[in-house]
Chains A and B, each alone.
Chain A
Amino acid sequence: DAGVIQSPRHEVTEMGQEVTLRCKPISGHDYLFWYRQTMMRGLELLIYFNNNVPIDDSGMPEDRFSAKMPNASFSTLKIQPSEPRDSAVYFCASSDPDVEGYTFGSGTRLTVV
């Protein structure tokens, strides 16, 4: 398996633009997580899905952030409009209840200027 695949690896955008981050979880994993990592706040959970259904989105910072999982092999995290304070590394991770721990994707480094 190729692991958790995220795209793009790097994204530089101007303030006010829409940004869409993409994730393909490991096949067969029924949990998918979106995390954001910054130096100041560490690794923060934004939202997670179980069997494509959002379970907890309490970590989503505000209405500018939205996430979808239309099927078991694809999820998006959208920021509209983007702001400089959204600059961070965004990780997607997936897990299977029968396998311990999460597997993280390589992350998307977002810079909003």
Chain B
Amino acid sequence: QKEVEQNSGPLSVPEGAIASLNCTYSDRGSQSFFWYRQYSGKSPELIMSIYSNGDKEDGRFTAQLNKASQYVSLLIRDSQPSDSATYLCAAGGQNFVFGPGTRLSVLP
């Protein structure tokens, strides 16, 4: 059974700092990984995907993948209060397996 683990948080960072969100997965066969952001009372929205080892940058967001360690991370630079949300990590395939999410709070 595929599993995705995340620290539930909350992770609190000051405005302008780097927020680091981590995720581990159990299925070595997983090839694609996704980060979703979910604001309270809203649906998850896709913010990043990563398929290869290394880093992938998109604006203030950087996703990192290490398949040997079965580890995925999301860095948010220059964190803003509007980044306060729950971040869900997902391992892809025909169907996604989602982690429990990490609640991020960016303090003004």
Contacts and interface: CB of A to CB of B under 8 A. Distances in A.
Interface of A: 31, 33, 35, 42-43, 45, 48, 50, 55-56, 91, 100-107
Contacts of A42: 98-101
Interface in B38-91: 42-46, 49, 88
A14 B43 CA distance: 25
Interface of B: 32, 34, 36, 42-46, 49, 88, 94-101
Interface of B is mostly: loop
B49 A101 contact: yes
Cβ-closest 4 pairs across A and B: A101-B46, A104-B43, A42-B100, A43-B98
B22 to A, nearest CB: 16
A42 B97 CA distance: 11
Contacts, number: 41
Contacts of B49: 100-101
A56 B43 contact: no
B31 to A, nearest CB: 12
A43 B96 CA distance: 10
Contact of A102 (B96, B99, B100, B101): B96
A48 B95 contact: yes
A54 B74 CA distance: 33
B32 to A, nearest CB: 7
A35 B88 CA distance: 14
A102 B43 contact: no
B95 A33 contact: yes
